[in-house]
Amino acid sequence: MAELALVVLAAGMGTRMKSAIPKVLHKIAGRSMLSHVLHAGKELGAAKVVVIHGPDMPGVLQEARGVIPNCQFSEQRERLGTGHAVSMAKEALAGFKGTVLTLWGDAPLVKADTLRALAAKIDAKHRMAVLAFEAENPFGYGRMITKGKAVLDIREQLDASPAERKIRLCNSGYIAIDNELLWQIIPKLSNKNAKGEFYLTDLVKLANKAKTKVALATCDEMEVAGVNDRAQLSVLEREYQREARRAAMAGGATLIDPDTVYFSADTKLGKDVVVEPNVFFGPGVVVGDDVEILANSHIEGTVISSGARIGPFARLRPGAEIGENAHIGNFVEVKKAVIGKGAKANHLTYIGDAVVGAGSNIGAGTITCNYDGYEKHLTEIGENVFVGSNTSLVAPVKVGAGSNIAASSVITREIPPDSLAVSRPELIIKEGWAKRYRSVKKALKDAKAKGKG
């Protein structure tokens, strides 16, 4: 296969999104649509990647560089159609010899294999190829005008005849074209059509006039679906999640109720992982083998080692590292903290900016007081430490290995190894006090009632 260059169209305003955010930066499974497309393109090993963006879109440039650091950019100041958008890449592709693929920044479900198959259609006889799909409802799509396996033209909905509108084989918008042919014919595009725009689809007709055949590749309709509004965004989110759930189960994970589990694009699950209902995986989660994730847990930016047990109702925030066979229980929140092998925090606890040693037990209601109103501070708990319920650990503080902390203690300084730490007032008991108190209260109440009578 010839060298590849990708031209990614990402200049759309997305006015129907009703958002200050550029359309291509809206997210599917925790990743922007543009990033999804660029990740698919990255798998192709393209020699050049050119992103076409609109004015004042710094977020688009930043997002693209985050996936492909050496990508190039061309600005489309006037939005005069898809053909005009691709023409903006001419300078960036000067001197390139190979195949150009056009990608759409708002079509996040496209697969690298599909793009690779489209590019593979280019040969000596076919210097252009288009990607099409059978539409369930073709209304609004450009129709493929074919003769045998060759594509003669693409007719947009507004320009199609009644007979052409019955065609169900529709244009995806993706094309592969020899770079030399592209710059030979793109200047010949005309805007004499219903929309007054320069259509990229008209390249098909121009390629045929240039005596080259146009090949056809096909794919599933949903794979090339684009987004114009938030309703369509939700449809693609739902489709992505279906695929992600199927992939997780095919990879050896058990999802008790798949429809209630939500993945991010980069979620990684090991084998024999069990995920109960209503679990949400945000970006940056890696789960080892034999992990149990119980119902109603929210996990993001976390590495969970093999054999750990999470939840129910656990929240793991970015920077959490859960060791082998560790337990994080109900209503426990962990943020930017390392939980050692076999350590346990089973109830109603907050552990932030901390290191918890192997085998330690964190009692219910324990809090690492990591923030002083200005800065975050570290709590270090050694191995095999027992922390009693309702303990407050005021960071920065260290607790030595093998120590015990009595319940309801407030720890403000370092605890040596193998020590007992107790920090609470002496218990005072006054026998009979409660009975006398009730008698006084009753007498006052009776006197007040008699006075009113």
List active site positions.
347
Identify whether the C-beta of residue 173 lies closer than 8 Å to the C-beta of residue 102.
yes
- Round to whole Å and give the CA distance between 234 and 241: 11
If DSSP codes are grouped into helix, strand and coil, which group holds residue 302?
strand
Is the distance from CB of 316 to CB of 322 less than 8 angstroms?
A: yes
Phi, psi of 83 (to 5 degrees): -65, -40
| Residue that is written with structure tokens 């189960």 in the block | 249
Query: Omega of the bond prior to 312 within 30 degrees of 0, cis?
Result: yes
CA angle 251–293–27, rounded 5-degree value: 70
Closest CA relative to residue 245, chosen from 220, 219, 280:
280
Q: 129: exposed, middle or buried (C-beta count within 10 Å: 0-12, 13-18, 19+)?
A: buried
Task: Measure the CA–CA gap between 154 and 362, rounded to whole angstroms.
Answer: 66
Nearest-angstrom CA–CA distance, 376 and 355: 14
223, 174 contact by CB (below 8 A): no
Closest CA to 117 of 101, 105, 139: 101
Nearest to 391 by CA among 366, 424, 369, 419: 366
CB atoms inside a 10 Å sphere around CB 317? 17
Cβ neighbours of residue 320 closer than 8 Å, sequence gap 6 or more = 301, 302, 303, 334, 335, 336, 337, 339
Separation between Cα atoms, residue 310 and residue 314, nearest integer Å = 7
